[in-house]
Chains A and B, each alone.
Chain A
Amino acid sequence: NAGVTQTPKFQVLKTGQSMTLQCAQDMNHEYMSWYRQDPGMGLRLIHYSVGAGITDQGEVPNGYNVSRSTTEDFPLRLLSAAPSQTSVYFCASSPQLTYEQYFGPGTRLTVT
């Protein structure tokens, strides 16, 4: 198993550009989520999904969209990038609600 994979590893965007951060898992996990990690703020939940076709907002969802058309994939879309979205983004998955969460290697995003 490759586990949780994320692409790209690094990305630089200009303000106003849009892009999609990819996340995939090959463990058949129902639960997937996106976090961002910022110095002094820790990790904060952006969006999550409890299964294909079901998504919901976390604590910092503004400026981001998600969809879950398959169990394996959970892409995160930045609609119009802003410097405040400069961060490291992590995708995570878990087989069940109370089980261990597995994290991907992260995407480091810089918005200029």
Chain B
Amino acid sequence: KQEVTQIPAALSVPEGENLVLNCSFTDSAIYNLQWFRQDPGKGLTSLLLIQSSQREQTSGRLNASLDKSSGRSTLYIAASQPGDSATYLCAVKRTDSWGKLQFGAGTQVVVTP
């Protein structure tokens, strides 16, 4: 059974510091891994998608890496800003069903001015 874990559950950093968010999964039989951002009371905004054959993806200040063999992904956010405060979720798309997304519980991030 696929388990997705995000550690830490919460993180507070001063503005300007780099953020490092971790995601681990137990079964490497995945199509891809997707990182989302969720603001309080809002929906999920897709940040980055990494296919299982890729090692990393970049978009602006965001960089996500994927090590499928060890079951780990890391989201880096450079030079954090107060607007980066949100909950970040990772999700793996499994190959053993239609393509269900298996979500982690999320990391709640606060960036203080």
Contact = CB atoms under 8 A, between A and B. Distances in A.
Interface residues of A, number: 26
Contacts of B45: 103
B32 A42 contact: no
A45 to B, nearest CB: 5
Given A105-B42, A106-B42, A98 B31 contact: yes
Given A56-B98, A90-B44, A103-B43, A98 B103 contact: no
B38 to A, nearest CB: 9
Interface of A: 31, 33, 35, 40, 42-43, 45, 48, 50, 56, 58-59, 90, 92, 94, 97-106, 108
Contacts of A99: 49
A31 B99 contact: yes
A42 B105 contact: yes
Contact of A42 (B31, B49, B51, B104): B104
B43 to A, nearest CB: 4
A15 B45 CA distance: 32
Contacts of B43: 90, 103-106
A103 B44 CA distance: 6
B101 interface: yes
B59 to A, nearest CB: 12
Contacts of B89: 43
A34 to B, nearest CB: 12
Nearest to A100: B49
A43 B101 contact: yes
Contacts of A43: 89, 91, 101, 103
B100 interface: yes
Contacts of A97: 31, 93, 98-99
